[in-house]
Amino acid sequence: MSLKGGCLCRGVTYEADRLDAPPMHCHCITCRKAHGSAYTTTARVLRDAFRFTSGADLLRAYESCPGKLRQFCARCGTHLFAEFPDRPYVILRIATLDDDPEMRPAFHIWTSHDVPWLDPDCPSFPEWQPGR
């Protein structure tokens, strides 16, 4: 079973045969800035198990640190994956999957970069908060 995913505008879509490592949550400042979020969840996928099904021509890259390219959709800005071109895997952004990868994150990294407003005890609701 392949995992399908893509960007917000659906201009770029992909398939991954599997995740090749358990997902992890990265809290580093670079991931926070790239995703506009407190952390991002990623997993390695071997290149031979990853392919674009549409829109590869819409991909643009930003080199966020030496040798690391963050690939995003030029139309909607969705950050889909990162890569070191000389390595045998891509670093997939799990939130861009349409399917449940059936693997749960194994750990958090770079928690030394956590923001003070990240509050795990904050109330949560299945949809909008009551009264909205």
Q: What is the mean pLDDT of the chain?
A: 94
Let me know: does 59 contact 13? Beta carbons within 8 Å.
no
Residue 123 has pLDDT above 90, yes or no: no
d(CA 132, CA 81): 35
Residue 118 has pLDDT above 90, yes or no: no
What is the per-residue pLDDT for 4? 98
Residue 1 has pLDDT above 80, yes or no: no
What is the per-residue pLDDT for 70? 97
What domains can you pick out in the chain, each with its CATH number?
3-113 (2.170.150.70)
pLDDT in tens, 60-116: 999 999 999 999 999 999 999 999 999 999 999 999 999 999 999 999 999 999 898
- Mean pLDDT in residue range 26-31: 93
d(CA 74, CA 112): 31
Contacts 24+ apart (CB under 8 A), 94-102: 94/23, 94/41, 94/42, 94/43, 95/40, 95/41, 96/5, 96/6, 96/7, 97/3, 97/4, 97/5, 97/16, 98/3, 98/4, 98/5, 98/6, 99/3, 99/4, 99/5, 101/3, 101/19, 101/23, 101/43
